[in-house]
């Protein structure tokens, strides 16, 4: 099984992906974590020092490496879809799910965030609106399924995605039941 999550910063790719991997009993990989291991510092520091293009070059290499041995649940970074090479690697090797969110919901989740370099600006909500307008068509082009994240909790999103994967024939129906609440 190989599932990739795409969407804007704050959409829940990392948080939902981690829980989805556990539920499906399959490895969870976050491209941003793999990148930070390779560069040896935080993405924000790397952006400051080397610039966005250098980051995108490493991101492209990491996505190509992971696609060559596609498995588990992959959380991508929000900008992974900017390059056509990444879009086709993801589409061709993973079942891609777009976690769609409104800029307003994302702003609510990320208003205190200091880790995302693209949002360290005077008007982060305005920046999220620009990113949404520019990237929404690219996420849709890359994804096989779209899930709206506005209202559901992270646990509910995992349930919705498992159901979608069952419908798409990626996982067997009933093979990954929800853990009973303890
Ligand atoms: N559906 C949701 N409901 C409530 N909080 C969420 C939801 N999705 C994500 N979050 C929270 O928003 C923040 C950003 O999520 P994260 O998974 O890091 O996003 P991404 O990896 O897509 O940028 C985290 O604190 C996460 O717990
Ligand atoms: O949207 C983007 O261009 C980025 C999103 C980040 O990941 P998240 O989507 O997990 O925040 C990270 O890859 C980097 O800061 C660039
Ligand atoms: Mg993330």
Calpha distance 108→41 (Å, rounded):
27
Q: Which CATH number is 74's domain given?
A: 3.40.50.300
Residue 181 has what pLDDT? 67
153 lines ligand 1 (CB under 6 A): yes
Residue 174 included in any domain: no
The answer to the question of residue 172 being in a domain is no
Minimum CA distance residue for ligand 1 atom 8: 12
Does the beta carbon of 77 lie inside 6 Å of ligand 1? no
Measured in Å, residue 52 CA sits from the centre of ligand 3 at 17
Decide if 177 is inside a domain: no
* Position 89 in a domain: yes
**Ligand 1 atom at minimum distance from 9 CA:** 23
CA dihedral angle for residue 43, residue 141, residue 176, residue 13, rounded to 10 degrees: 20
pLDDT digits (tens, 9 = 90+) for 23-76: 999 999 999 999 999 999 999 999 999 999 999 999 999 999 999 999 999 999
What's the mean pLDDT in 148-175?
96
Nearest CA to ligand 2 atom 5: 78
Residue 77's domain spans which residues? Answer: 2-167
With a Cβ cut-off of 6 Å, ligand 2 is lined by 9, 13-14, 32, 43, 77-79, 116-118
Instruction: Confirm if 149 and 11 have CB atoms less than 8 A apart.
Output: yes
- The string of pLDDT tens digits covering residues 86-97 is 999 999 999 999
Within a domain: 62: yes
What is the tally of structural domains in the chain?
Answer: 1
Residue 181 lies in a domain: no
Q: Give, using CA atoms, the residue closest to atom 15 of ligand 2.
A: 116
Check whether 16 has a pLDDT greater than 80: yes
Site to substitute for ligand 1 among 9, 15, 119, most atoms within 8 A of C-beta: 15
- Asked if the structure places residue 175 within a domain, the reply is no
Of all residues in the chain, the percent with pLDDT exceeding 70 is: 99
Residue 101 alpha carbon to ligand 1 centre in Å: 10
Residue 103 is assigned to a structural domain of this protein: yes
- The whole-number pLDDT of residue 42 equals 97
Written in H, E and C, the secondary structure of 112-170 is: CCCCCHHHCCCCHHHHHHHHHHHHHHHHHHHCCEEEECCCCCHHHHHHHHHHHHHHCCC
Closest ligand 1 atom number to CA of residue 18: 17
100 lines ligand 1 (CB under 6 A): no
Reported ipTM: the value is 0.99
């Amino acid at each position: 099984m190989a599932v990739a999550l795409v969407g804007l910063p704050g959409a829940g790719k990392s948080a939902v992906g981690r829980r989805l991997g556990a539920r499906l009993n399959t490895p969870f990989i976050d491209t941003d974590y793999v990148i930070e291991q390779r560069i040896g510092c935080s993405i924000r520091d790397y952006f400051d020092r080397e610039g966005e293009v250098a980051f995108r070059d490493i991101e492209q290499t990491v996505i190509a490496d992971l696609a060559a041995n596609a498995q588990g649940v992959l959380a991508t970074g929000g900008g992974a879809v900017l390059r056509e090479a990444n879009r086709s690697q993801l589409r061709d090797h993973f079942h891609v799910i777009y976690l769609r969110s409104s800029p307003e919901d994302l702003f609510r989740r990320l208003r205190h965030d200091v880790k995302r370099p693209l949002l360290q600006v005077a008007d982060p909500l305005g920046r999220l609106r620009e990113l949404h307008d520019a990237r929404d068509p690219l996420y849709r082009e890359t994804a096989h399924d779209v899930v709206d994240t506005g209202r559901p909790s992270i646990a509910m999103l995992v349930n919705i995605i498992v159901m979608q994967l069952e419908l798409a024939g990626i996982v067997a129906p009933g093979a990954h039941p929800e853990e009973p609440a303890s």
